[in-house]
Structure 1
Amino acid sequence: MRTAPRAAPCPAGRLAGFDVREGRPLPFGATRVPGGVNFSVYSTGAASVALVLFWRGAEEPFAELEFPECYRTGSVYAMTVFGLCAEEIEYGYRIDGPWDPERGDRYDAACLLSDPYATAVGGRETWGEPGDRRYRYRSRIAPDGFDWAGDRPLGLPMQDLVIYETHVRGFTRHPSSGVRWPGTFAGLAERIPYLVELGVNCVELMPVLEFDENENHPAGLHDYWGYNTVGFFAPKASYAATGVLGRQNDELKSLVKQLHAAGIEVVLDVVFNHTAEGDERGPTFSFRGLDNRVYYMLTPDGRYYNFSGTGNTVNCNHPVVLGFVLDCLRYWVSEYHVDGFRFDLAAVLGRASDGSPLANPPLLETLASDPVLAHTKLIAEAWDAGGLYQVGSFPDYCRWSEWNGRYRDAVRRFLKGEPGTVSEMADRLIGSPDLYLRRGPVASVNFVTSHDGFTLHDLFAYNDKHNDANGEHGGDGDDANHSWNCGHEGPAGDQEVLALRRRQACNALLLLLTSHGVPMLLAGDEIGRTQQGNNNAYCHDSEISWFDWRGLAENADLLLFVKRAIAFRRAHPVLRRRWHITGHANGALFPDVSWHGVRAWTPDWSSHNRLLAVMFHAEEEGAADCVYLAANAHWERHELELPQLPDHLAWHRFADTHAEPPAEQPGAEPELADQERVRIGPRTVLVLVARERRGR
């Protein structure tokens, strides 16, 4: 029996003065090994690959090492270089190959390419400082050895979360923040006591993966939000007080550790639908030069499909790209202990290479079933810029939750007093069973405002967007805001207008924090933050976008309202359901949900009605939890007949947005003098709770 001859082993050698040997193909990226660093990079069409080495901060490389052909395994080039100190170097790749854009090949050896798996990126350490465009986005190797001191992801039940969406830089950049290192991870950590006092237990951080704030914007404006990722494994260096020292990785880890110690989970907003390379007119600094046809969705003539609205779309369901996304998420969970991810324009993640929606997207299924991510929260923005809107139909595999855009729109339209909105508002209050019946209310991340759109203050101060400062002639930003200025556009001096705006904000907050599902607050809404009518402040690193800490005193009453509403939600499990209610009593005193109107037990679902009342009830171990909510979007007051309680119970008022502030703490709510009827003012939300009668 003859056997095929074995290939000769690839010998160790010496390149550019360094001892080298064939490296390990996996893991991809740069990895410390005894005596040196292992470099591994993937490219299907490369004719040659060279590793370019720099001393940190140097303009010119000190070595350029071409991978011997025998150091290639399949389409992976791997080489171990000895005598390197990982903390002292930066690196990149030059890849030569065919230049044939119509076929999708854009190899260019003149471009220095960043490693997609780089765990740190050099050149962006100081916010807003122009970098050297010849050698930007240098790949670095993150330091090892952070002491987690036993920290682990918290694993809080989804139904117990109150999410707080914030921007790391914007949260403490304002001079009023009073922190030592404004606009940084360390600055946010200094303000953790505020988050604890507010009562939130999860922060959703807008993009903290490395991006270039100077890219593609006129002078004075920035890519402030950061939805154009440069380094998917690398923290944003300029968000760290220690970024100039290369310690941004440890500073972000320290922030996560401190948040966990305070009982607060961390969700990262991640952007896998596109990259910062743009379309064919954009820069080539990584994926395009590594393997353009693999990493991007391309049209038959080699152009870029644009389902993200930014020029390109990542080819997420290609097996190699799928593996990249999975590796990235595993890295953030295992190395940074993050508790979850919110996926920007997640509908893209379910598209095939030609852009068509897949019935069973491999990436979404893989992330849902991955063992490392098993207890990680996965939240989808279930739409994209190509018109694919999947709220309620996102491929979930019993794991994914969604930003519920239909909740946002329903609350806004209801509070405006639009006709025909009561029935949908009822569905949204009980966790949107019309959308998530199989998955339960925890699939619905409820929100009224987010970074994208009006703030809560502006929602009731502007009918129209005012985006002229963005430099796009007012053409950017959504036109369908369902906002209402309460009778005057913009800043107002009329006290009646101001009182109505404040009441509408409280109405929205109270509905949000008493709805089934997972509530999400936008940072600053609790103190009346305004963007002056700008509903797309993505490019403003200024007071337009920053959290103004003077609002804590100036809007103390609104802040107190939010704190008490969050505490009320936490005190009542009947508002935090894991599964949908049924409308049945199941032997209890009342059904788990019942609907009411001007008359108890008699809801009005007609299109002209603008009043909705609901009673939530649960009994566990003999203790009853009963909350009654009435929302009047009418411009007239009404008198409501209340459901009758047993003799030992009485209705107590938690909040009346027209007249009474919320009770100071759960259990301190005043008892109603009239237990049969209650008045509800115009454009008002009323919340009552059943408690033991006073003196019993």
Structure 2
Amino acid sequence: MDAFLCSHNGNPILNSPFFNSKTELTHLTSRTPAGCYSIRSLSIFSSMRLRSSKSVFGSNETLLNSTQIKKHDRVECNAANVSDHLVQANVIEEEATQSSEISPSFKVSAGQGFPLGVSETERGINFALFSQHASVVTLCLSISERKTLGEVDAEVVELPLDPSVNKTGDVWHICVEDLPRHSVLYGYRLDGPREWQQGHRFDSSIVLIDPYAKQVEGRRYFGDAGNKMSKFLGTYDFTSLPFDWGDNYLQPSIPEKDLVIYEMNVRAFTADESSGLDPDIRGSYLGVIEKIPHLLGLGINAVELLPVFEFDELELQRHPNPRDHMINTWGYSTINFFAPMSRYASAGVGPVAAQREFKQMVKALHASGIEVILDVVYNHTNEADDVIPYTTSFRGIDNKVYYMLDVNGQYLNFSGCGNTLNCNHPVVMELILDSLRHWVIEYHVDGFRFDLASVLCRGTDGSPLNAPPLIKAIAKDDILSKCKIIAEPWDCGGLYLVGSFPNWDRWAEWNGKYRDDVRRFIKGDSGMKGNFATRVAGSADLYKVNKRKPYHSVNFIIAHDGFTLHDLVSYNVKHNDANGEGGNDGCNDNFSWNCGYEGTVNIF
């Protein structure tokens, strides 16, 4: 198969207020034996104001009463200004008794350990979370009602889970009755061993995203610097009707040998005003639909979308660093593996609409005979390393399970991004498989390109495996059986597997040798005729093994990494001066030629 790979640059950034992330919300937690409440600070979505919150857990079934405080009676607390917690708690309780506005009572029960994530059962909303090493798990719920953009009223509840009741094996679970079937924000606090040398990174002050959350709520507009410190939490919606794919809907099912792939970034593809689109849909899933005629005119029959899993585009701006002026447009910094990027939805409509609009995009592309391949990042996450960690989920839930660590409990870094996902650990492997199946079943995608796929070929100690369990499982999985599965067959630890990636006659590869040999031939390097002929004839030296075919080589000359086509004929060396990395990023072997002048020449 051939890949037609192009990159785009988007300039305008939509700005709109959402949550004021500087606000700290105080709330009430569990009742003490003396009948008082303890107050603790919860950093959560901004603009939420406390009504009240009481957390409980019981043996089997417990009634949770939460009494709301009217707006005009509301006491807004700040833990930093409270000198006497008991007095303050009594004031809040006294105010609450004066209110005639009573919220529903929540009945909680043990729940069930399957499926992981949040699910709707006959008894209520079930929450299930894996953590092998945690000793304390608390479910945090925020029942919000959006009034206007930027204003949210919320009731915050924390439910500690009793390990003798709410735990089965390594899965913590609880069922909450009478919860709303949508618009509930949720996360978890976990605590456990604090020994870093043993690989643990528990921190009970952080509310963490459920790894199995299907929707993630955060800031609503891409690049909204006014809310760069916004938190991210899971949410759910059990009220929406199933998406209508249509009676005559069919996926294109294009043979691999006929694929012509166009690599693109959803946002950058239409973000600029030159796209001619309405501002509300520029840089969105719906914007891609409007440009389908352009894609057809290029002669391509598949799009490979740079990461569309939820990520924080402003992660570099959360702390001072040489790159804190930059926005992460590409998205190779995953927060959650199940939720579509919510800020690729149109006009700040949020995660529920993002799911729907993503499906609309897939349906429209399929109707035009174009397949959808996702560039997926299972080699690392956004949580970085111990130097400047950005703990949002896995690190705080069970760091020792989710990441590759050395014997001293420090991160192994085969991704070049500070951490490496522990892909062949059974729990992490199942997470990845569940994620892939979810995107095939729920969103009807046609395939996946695996970023730094050689990481997926490493064992839990980082050593290369000849028959990696995850790679085999993906190749053999029934649900994934019709998907295109494409490896980027190298990583940042030197595991270069072009032509030898474990494949079970299913895996295709980005052919890095095709890229390099064609560049060198065009550049005029001596002795390249034979290599050039081999590459354009299918790279038999690499892929004529077992039942592999020429189409298992994805041929490309440029991609999102490294030099563009323009750069290949303009520069001999890198000039990545604006990104704050001092030219240390990217490969030095670009096989380019500046045609006699370093830089762009204006001949007009």
TM range (shorter): 0.7 to 0.9
The 8 Å contact of residues 169 and 183 in structure 1, kept in 2 or not, is answered as yes
Structure 2 counterpart of 1:203, one-letter code: V
Instruction: Confirm whether residue 171 of structure 1 aligns to residue 269 of structure 2.
Output: yes
Distance, in Å, in 2 between the alignment partners of 1:169 and 1:288 is: 28
Match of 2:356 in 1: 250
Cα drift, residue 13 of structure 1 = 2.6
Cα drift, residue 488 of structure 1 = 2.3
Structure 2 counterpart of 1:280, one-letter code: D
Instruction: Confirm whether residue 466 of structure 1 aligns to residue 466 of structure 2.
Output: no
Corresponding residue SS for 2:336:
strand
Cα drift, residue 36 of structure 1 = 3.0
The 8 Å contact of residues 35 and 84 in structure 1, kept in 2 or not, is answered as no
Match for residue 117 of structure 2 among 29, 40, 62: 29
Cα drift, residue 494 of structure 1 = 4.9
Match of 1:238 in 2: 343
Match of 1:38 in 2: 126
Match of 1:81 in 2: 176
Instruction: Confirm whether residue 147 of structure 1 aligns to residue 244 of structure 2.
Output: yes
Cα drift, residue 223 of structure 1 = 1.3
Match for residue 294 of structure 1 among 386, 390, 401: 401
Cα drift, residue 21 of structure 1 = 1.9
Distance, in Å, in 2 between the alignment partners of 1:43 and 1:152 is: 40
Match for residue 528 of structure 2 among 421, 433, 436: 421
The 8 Å contact of residues 152 and 337 in structure 1, kept in 2 or not, is answered as no
The 8 Å contact of residues 296 and 313 in structure 1, kept in 2 or not, is answered as yes
Aligned-residue CA RMSD in angstroms? 1.9
Task: Mark the structure with the bigger radius of gyration.
Answer: 1
Cα drift, residue 243 of structure 1 = 4.1
Match of 1:50 in 2: 138
The 8 Å contact of residues 183 and 236 in structure 2, kept in 1 or not, is answered as no
Match for residue 434 of structure 1 among 541, 560, 570: 541
Distance, in Å, in 2 between the alignment partners of 1:85 and 1:243 is: 23
Match for residue 475 of structure 1 among 584, 591, 599: 584
Distance, in Å, in 2 between the alignment partners of 1:49 and 1:302 is: 22
The 8 Å contact of residues 205 and 268 in structure 1, kept in 2 or not, is answered as yes
Cα drift, residue 86 of structure 1 = 3.1
Structure 1 counterpart of 2:309, one-letter code: L
Distance, in Å, in 1 between the alignment partners of 2:289 and 2:541 is: 40
Alignment of 1:372-391 (within 5 A): 372-391=479-498
Cα drift, residue 161 of structure 1 = 0.6
Between 51-60 and 409-418, report the one with greater CA deviation: 51-60
Structure 2 counterpart of 1:160, one-letter code: D
Match of 1:114 in 2: 209
* 1:299–1:146 distance in 2 versus 1, CA, 3 Å: same
Structure 2 counterpart of 1:74, one-letter code: G
Q: Normalising to structure 2: TM-score of the pair?
A: 0.78
Match of 1:67 in 2: 161
Distance, in Å, in 1 between the alignment partners of 2:601 and 2:201 is: 55
* 1:318–1:53 distance in 2 versus 1, CA, 3 Å: same
Cα drift, residue 11 of structure 1 = 3.0
Match of 2:20 in 1: none
Distance, in Å, in 2 between the alignment partners of 1:61 and 1:32 is: 21
Corresponding residue SS for 1:470:
coil
Cα drift, residue 14 of structure 1 = 2.3
Cα drift, residue 222 of structure 1 = 1.0
Alignment of 1:108-507 (within 5 A): 108-130=203-225, 136-142=231-237, 143=240, 145-150=242-247, 151-180=249-278, 181-217=281-317, 218-246=323-351, 247-281=353-387, 282-438=389-545, 439-494=548-603
* 1:407–1:62 distance in 2 versus 1, CA, 3 Å: same
Cα drift, residue 134 of structure 1 = 7.5
Distance, in Å, in 2 between the alignment partners of 1:43 and 1:238 is: 29
Which stretches in structure 2 are left out of the alignment for 5+ residues? Answer: 1-57, 66-104, 147-151, 318-322
Deviation string, structure 1 residues 201-223 (Cα, Å, up to 9, x no partner): 00000011110111125443111
Corresponding residue SS for 1:105:
coil
Corresponding residue SS for 1:38:
strand
Which stretches in structure 1 are left out of the alignment for 5+ residues? Answer: 1-8, 496-696
The 8 Å contact of residues 511 and 556 in structure 2, kept in 1 or not, is answered as yes
Alignment of 1:543-622 (within 5 A): none
Distance, in Å, in 2 between the alignment partners of 1:88 and 1:415 is: 56
Distance, in Å, in 2 between the alignment partners of 1:406 and 1:311 is: 27
Distance, in Å, in 2 between the alignment partners of 1:134 and 1:198 is: 40
The 8 Å contact of residues 193 and 200 in structure 2, kept in 1 or not, is answered as yes
The 8 Å contact of residues 316 and 325 in structure 2, kept in 1 or not, is answered as no
Distance, in Å, in 1 between the alignment partners of 2:192 and 2:230 is: 21
The 8 Å contact of residues 124 and 212 in structure 1, kept in 2 or not, is answered as no
Distance, in Å, in 1 between the alignment partners of 2:564 and 2:120 is: 46
Cα drift, residue 449 of structure 1 = 0.4
Distance, in Å, in 1 between the alignment partners of 2:123 and 2:419 is: 40
Cα drift, residue 493 of structure 1 = 4.1
The 8 Å contact of residues 316 and 324 in structure 2, kept in 1 or not, is answered as no
Distance, in Å, in 2 between the alignment partners of 1:20 and 1:343 is: 41
The 8 Å contact of residues 136 and 192 in structure 2, kept in 1 or not, is answered as yes
The 8 Å contact of residues 189 and 207 in structure 2, kept in 1 or not, is answered as yes
Distance, in Å, in 1 between the alignment partners of 2:436 and 2:291 is: 27
Between 398-407 and 241-250, report the one with greater CA deviation: 241-250
* 1:144–1:453 distance in 2 versus 1, CA, 3 Å: farther
Structure 1 runs (4+) greater than 3 angstroms displaced: 56-61, 130-135, 150-153, 217-220
Between 462-471 and 252-261, report the one with greater CA deviation: 462-471
Distance, in Å, in 2 between the alignment partners of 1:364 and 1:245 is: 34
Corresponding residue SS for 1:291:
helix
Distance, in Å, in 2 between the alignment partners of 1:407 and 1:144 is: 47
Match for residue 60 of structure 2 among 4, 7, 11: 11
Corresponding residue SS for 1:367:
helix
Corresponding residue SS for 2:516:
helix
Distance, in Å, in 2 between the alignment partners of 1:91 and 1:131 is: 23
* 1:49–1:216 distance in 2 versus 1, CA, 3 Å: same
Structure 1 counterpart of 2:424, one-letter code: N
Structure 1 counterpart of 2:120, one-letter code: R
Distance, in Å, in 2 between the alignment partners of 1:59 and 1:352 is: 47
How many residues were matched structurally? 487
Instruction: Confirm whether residue 105 of structure 1 aligns to residue 154 of structure 2.
Output: no
Structure 1 counterpart of 2:60, one-letter code: P
Corresponding residue SS for 1:328:
helix
Cα drift, residue 154 of structure 1 = 2.5
Structure 1 counterpart of 2:408, one-letter code: D
Corresponding residue SS for 2:381:
coil
Alignment of 1:527-546 (within 5 A): none
* 1:418–1:135 distance in 2 versus 1, CA, 3 Å: closer
* 1:45–1:135 distance in 2 versus 1, CA, 3 Å: farther
Distance, in Å, in 1 between the alignment partners of 2:241 and 2:423 is: 30
Cα drift, residue 433 of structure 1 = 0.7
Deviation string, structure 1 residues 118-147 (Cα, Å, up to 9, x no partner): 111111321112476886111111555211
Corresponding residue SS for 1:200:
coil
The 8 Å contact of residues 167 and 205 in structure 1, kept in 2 or not, is answered as yes
